[in-house]
Amino acid sequence: MTADFKYPERYLAQANARDIVELIAATADLALVVNSDNVIKDVSHNLDAASGADIPAWLGMPIERVVRVDSRPMLRKAFNVARSGARGARFDVNHLIGGKTELPVQYSALGIGGDGSIILMGRDLRLVSELQSRLLANRQTQEEDARSKKQAEAHYRLLFTTAADAIVIIDAATGKVREANPRAISLLGSSSAGIAGKKFSTLFDKAAQVEVQSVISGVVASGSPANRRVDLVNSNSVTLSVELFRAGDLKLVLVRISAPSDAMDLIPSAESGIATLVRNAAEAVVLTDEDGSVAWANESFLTLAEIPLAAQAVGRSLDDFFVWSGVEKDMLLKNIRRHGRVSAFSATVRGANGQATSVDLSAVAMPDGTTPGYGFVMRALSGDSVRQRRGNSDLTRTAEHLVEMIGRAPMKELVRDTTDVIERMCIEAALKLTGNNRASAARVLGLSRQALYLKMNRFGLADGEPL
């Protein structure tokens, strides 16, 4: 909303050019007089010495030479409005001081005289820009913290769900169950919905309920852990390992439940030698059939893929877990068939909760006499390792294997898949450059926001949020 003077002729009629100059100098951080050819004919500023030292040199220069390229369309539009006699809205321009330092200014443009001259009265926006940058940085920090908390929650949920131990979390104040993992639910003979919110002691045989409550109360009171053997409702005996812990302001009780049969799980069976080593290896291991469908995966791979149960991975394609193009997968499998093995292949595992992990992948064909298929071994790379291996990017790998694919696939398909790799790399680089600001990334890439969003969906880079 704007309001003009009601009586300018009464109170301002006596103002002369000097008065107007003083008024402009007092109210504007930077003022420019531009002629009909858009050449700067006069300047006035109240800027600091470092910023204002080069401004007098603007005299006689076209104004477009001292503003950034992306500010020029807005400047021309404002000039057209001012020369038409209309009052235009304020607009922002980024000047270049010394050819490299930016000076953001918010201008008002006013036509003067009848020869097309314009006076620009500007306000220094550096303080506003700095505050906006701080707000943006703070927002990004908060989003990163929220993302980290979400990842930590996902990791906790994964470990809690897949833990071999039966674990129950109890509210110390009420003695009611807050959470129980699948192993505990199975052992207690209940259901997830049926156990949450129940008094923990009621899940045991009536004769043992008082003893269970006594153990929990004693641990809460003393803070010292305790072990007790008690009977379940189904008359089976279990051992409770009870200890107190805090989660923020909450006082909770952790109960581990172990049955006598659990000890048998630790005794190696006849087949367990190599199988147990592979199952518990720190490296992720996956076995697939000839089509690349998962037949078996160890615990480390399930952790990378953020999947709680192996059954949820079996039968799914490798494409569901890796970030790669079709040509990369085809090249990998063909090289395994041709050479029997492939080593030091860089890949990215995509977790169910969105976490991407760079891995060093090796693969081998199943030996003759066994079910046809492939075995994959992956080792997660640290941040330093990823940076060192950037030369082995999607584009580099595609180029390295391109020669081997000639004659095996049509050139049109090779060019299309290679283009996909380049497009994906450009989009990822633009998103990283702009702090994941998709609108800015679209401008950097010369795309519309809708076109960028469609490409991100195509390459699996979109997270479902609107642009």
| Cα–Cα dist 69/96, whole Å | 10
Nearest one of 129, 108, 106, 100 to 2, comparing CA atoms? 108
Chain centre distance of CA 16? 60
Nearest-angstrom CA–CA distance, 202 and 233: 9
**CATH number at 410-467:** 1.10.10
* Domain segments of the chain as ranges: 8-124, 163-264, 272-391, 410-467
| Residues 278, 72: Cα–Cα separation, whole Å | 63
Main-chain dihedrals φ then ψ at residue 51, nearest 5 degrees: -80, -35
Bridge partners, residue 253, by sequence: 170, 244
Give the per-residue pLDDT at 278.
81
CA angle 395, 398, 402 (to 5 degrees): 140
Give the three-state DSSP class for 137: helix
The DSSP H or E segment spanning 365 is: strand 356-365
Q: How far is CA 272 from CA 268, 269, 279, 334, in A?
A: 6, 5, 9, 32
DSSP codes, 12-60: HTT--HHHHHHHHHHH-SEEEEE-TTSBEEEEEE---HHHHTTGGGGTT
What's the residue count for the chain?
Answer: 467
Task: For 320, list phi and psi in degrees, rounded to 5.
Answer: -70, -15
Q: What is the CA radius of gyration of the chain?
A: 35
- pLDDT mean for each 10 residues of the chain (467 residues): 71 74 83 92 86 87 90 90 86 83 89 86 88 86 86 78 82 89 80 76 85 89 85 77 82 83 39 68 88 86 84 83 72 78 81 86 78 87 55 52 59 71 82 78 84 85 57
CATH fold for the domain made of 8-124: Beta-Lactamase (3.30.450)
Is CATH 3.30.450.20 correct for 163-264?
yes
Tell me what pLDDT residue 260 has. Answer: 58
Rounded to whole angstroms, how far apart are CA atoms 269 and 158? 27
CA distances 351 to 283, 300, 302, 308, 331, Å, are 16, 12, 9, 11, 23
pLDDT at 270 (0 to 100): 36
Distances (CA, A) of 263 to 160, 164, 258, 260: 20, 12, 8, 6
Would you call 453 helix, strand, or coil by DSSP? helix
8 A C-beta contact, residue 241 and residue 256: yes
If one looks up domain 272-391 in CATH, what number appears? 3.30.450.20
| Intrachain domains 8-124 and 272-391 with the same fold | yes
Q: What is the pTM of this model?
A: 0.36
Q: Residue type at 20?
A: I
